Structure 1
Amino acid sequence: MTYQVKTFNAIAQSGLDTFNDNFKINQTDDPDAYLIRSVNLRDAEFPQSLKTIVRAGAGTNNVPIHRATEAGIAVFNTPGSNANAVKELVISLMISASRNIFAANAYSNNHVGADVSKRTEADKTKFNGTELMGKKLAVIGLGHVGSLVAEAALELGMNVIGYDPYLSTDAAWNINNHVDRSNTIKQAVKNADYVTVHVPKNDETYKLIDRNVIEAMKQNSILFNYSRLGIVDNEAALEAVLDKKLKYYVTDFGEPIIADQENVIVTPHIGGSTLEAESNGATQAANTVMRYLETGDTVQSVNLPAMKVPFEAPYRFTVIHKNVPNMVGQITTILAQLNVNIASMSNAAKKDTAYTIIDVDDLNAENSIELIQKIDQIPEVYRARLIKHK
């Protein structure tokens, strides 16, 4: 079986080299898979052939998840692939802001001349900073990035408090037991010298850091947003900087309102922009494309339940459908009518969407075509697919 993959944006060559010989890259506009980074697909028309969209990166806000699901398209991302890159940037900016590096650099560039050594020696106390050791850091969101930032801060001798009401059991294993836990976001930020935010963007986290949260923060603290645009209320953050409530606001997501503002440091969305992170994301994404198309496994899917089922039978049917009663019954009835024996079956749901995997030992070409057609005719089914064991 040959699968077609269409790429968008610049995908690291190491990722493209990961594909096995069953996959062809950018040879058609009707592919089985899209491999993307930041391209905006929210208004895109998807070809009927498209079965999966995989983003080489953590977020999927550039993909219309609901519309993709209704088209029977599995959507994936690569969480953690750029986590170390973001961690290193946040820690470096924490040090830079604490030591007033940006102001010191501007001063040095504006005072060059014969007396530069004498002048800077007299003025350097203006840029006296503080050390991280012994300071308190609040980490809001303790997933892939947040847990790494917390660990690095502990190694620098900081006291770390974390807040994450949605922390999964798997993610909790990665958190150092020296990280204190807070039950509320205001409690977490109350006495923190630094606050850094690392949560996904959704309806619940939009403007998570608003005026009320900033008001609860310590005077002269420093706020970092290396999560997503909109997680921090930029207007409220700017007001806090102008009022000297915040010493600095540091973010990867610029807007006109915070452009060219003193003590607001904006980087151009470079949190995950390292050669290593791009390679990690591309490689992980390529493996995800191959795994889904060749086995139907949905680990790391954002719109389907995470399922990883050993593929030992000659044939596998996968069905993306609505999570409503009697769906499995309807599907198995069709198999029984066509005299197809089920070797194994798995089913799981994620909110309103369910996914069923059925393995069979014996199947002829006529039965396979009729089976897919009949399952696809069930009104609640988004897509049925046949996979042959390679």
Structure 2
Amino acid sequence: MHVVQMLTPDGRRVDHEEDPALAAHAATLTAEDLRGMYRDMALARRVDVEATALQRQGELGLWASLLGQEAAQVGSARATLPQDRLFPTYREHAVAMVRGVDPAHVLSLFRGVDRGGWDVEATGVSPYALVIGSQTLHATGYAMGVQRDGAVGTGDPARDACVLAYFGDGASSQGDVNEAFVFATAYQAPVVFVCQNNQWAISVPAERQTRVPIAQRASGFGFPGVRVDGNDVVACYAVVRAAAERARAGEGPTLVEAFTYRMGAHTTSDDPGRYRPSVEVEQWRARDPLTRLEAHLRRDHGADDAFFADVAREGDTAASRLRRAVLEMPDPEPGSMFDHAYAAEHPQVEEERAWYAAYLAGLDGEEGRTA
């Protein structure tokens, strides 16, 4: 299956003559846009490094690294409009940052002090989904709602909206994802499915899950599928922008497979050295999305050492602020977990709240007798 690429691994620009629409979208990117994309990717990577360190030091319960997937996330997120809604998994940290989510709010979830503290309506980013594949159904249902609200196909660029549903190659084997495809195509819902195929569903390689490219599966459901170089931020932007415009126009769903690689572990509880060869990792290291865009910016857009040094300093400052914010997060009151189960009080929830309070009081008594 053809892979859309617009920046080669050494940073050279490639004209995409096969699809003039994609080429036109890529051509809209200015030198300033490309610098902004580099900044987004570099800051997301620096935040990711800091979060991994915080988890290793016992400050986070878990962390899912995005290392290697920055281009797929930044390119796709930058292709959206403010009225679009994005449904992430638990690894879309760069997506969240591009849309204005404070990284501290993302880390608060992994620290266990809240259930995702950002403003969904202001950012357009729904809470992280830890149940594999569930967010694709949520996204499709939301897209059907957008459709019924009359915010699709009106021709008004300030009104028409679409939905992005992120998932991984592992989730593509889940029933939820396939059910989402069925509903999306049956109702021509304005949803773009963005699969970040990072080659490994924890320890299971992609070839154990599918005999054809994941993007090719879309044809069996009756909608288009596109495979894009997931380490090429320009191509990711162009492909997702085209798919999003198609969705907003009322032309239905698209499946975008961003062919990339998970450079780190699945999560901090995983040891990838037990199941994948180091030579494979080194091969993909040569396709790093940041070094690719850096080479392009230096060669074609006059970016110098001062620019990259400024971005690095900004990343260090952001990481320092993030560390302070995490260490200063207050522990939640235990009973607060019951506060937002329902919009109004519910007798069963109140019964469970009372039971839990009595349980905690009993623990306090046990500690007192032990002392």
Question: What's the TM-score bracket when you normalise by the shorter of the two chains?
Answer: under 0.3
TM-score by length of 2: 0.26
TM-score by length of 1: 0.25
| Structure number having the greater helix percentage | 2
Q: Which has the larger radius of gyration?
A: 1
More contact order relative to length (CA 8 Å, sep ≥ 6) = 2
